Amino acid sequence: MTALIEIDGLTKRFGAFTAVDSVSFTVARGEVLGFLGPNGAGKSTTMRMLAGFMTPSAGTARICGHDVQRESLAARRCLGFLPEGAPTYPDMTVEGFLRFVASVRGYRGGEAADRVAHAIGLTTLGGVRLQPVETLSKGFKRRVGLAQSMLHDPPVLVLDEPTDGLDPNQKHEVRRLIERMAPEKAILISTHILEEVDAVCSRAIIVSRGRIVADGTPAELQKMNPSGRLDDVFRDLTAARTEAA
């Protein structure tokens, strides 16, 4: 197993506030790592640093062996990133937006068209191909964001809340999509929906107040509370820390 995502001592401070406190983990090919934690625990900040959008206060992150700060472009070529809230340009059509991403990713002509068609197929966006993104519902917008992240078939996927705002059927679709891609990729997904961990993740990390408080397979995490329920484990770990502080 080779680690495609390597995070080592990653820290982000905003003034006196430490949003991410020396977080370290790796994700290997074939792994789907669930990144759990209450709102404001530092999940998005960690992902932003991993994507090279935020500069860490300390620590390093590597994607496919490329340091995200020093070899930023090489790292970004290996990465498919869905930012929080799945932002897209509202006045562009779904296809126009994906064509733009394809050309930035270096595809031209027929190959670009194939890539766009493939991404539209994977995320079942065919019916709204020519609609401006701003006219779409939340679930469709999220899928446009997903299509953008997997368009170039990257070895590493970092998805910030990929199923947020989707209805149960769409959630199921996205999870199946992630499962299908899982064997060849290293995937990091953040979520606060705990059922998702059981459904798609091979491993999960729980963060609270910027620190990792648990790391293991879903089965291992469930054993941490006598009830055997992930909800209880999550509450034990994250609520206790909030009160203690």
Closer Cβ to another protein, 159 or 230, answer by number: 159
In the complex, the smallest distance separating the C-beta of residue 199 from another protein, rounded to whole angstroms, is: 26
- Which residues would be at the binding site for another protein (CB under 8 A)? 48, 51-55, 73, 76-77, 79, 81, 83-85, 87-92, 96, 100-101, 103-106, 132, 148
Tell me how many helices (H) and strands (E) the chain has: 9, 10
DSSP SS3 for 193: coil
CA–chain centroid gap for 170, Å, is 17
Maximal CA-CA distance, the chain: 58
Closest approach, Cβ 21 to another protein, in A, equals: 18
Radius of gyration of the chain (CA): 18
Report the nearest approach of another protein to the CB of residue 101 (Å). 7
CA proximity to 61, closest of 73, 47, 43: 47
Quick one: 147 or 221, whose CB is closer to another protein? 147
CA distance 172 to 187: 17
By C-alpha distance, which of 121, 73, 61, 62 is closest to 95?
Answer: 121
12 vs 203, beta carbon nearer another protein: 12
- CB 42, min distance to another protein, A: 14
How far is Cα 113 from Cα 103, in angstroms, rounded to an integer? 10
Measured CA to CA, the distance from residue 157 to residue 100 in angstroms comes to: 19
Closer residue to another protein (CB): 82 or 230: 82
CB of 208 to another protein, least distance (A): 22
Which residue's CB is nearer to another protein, number 59 or number 85?
A: 85
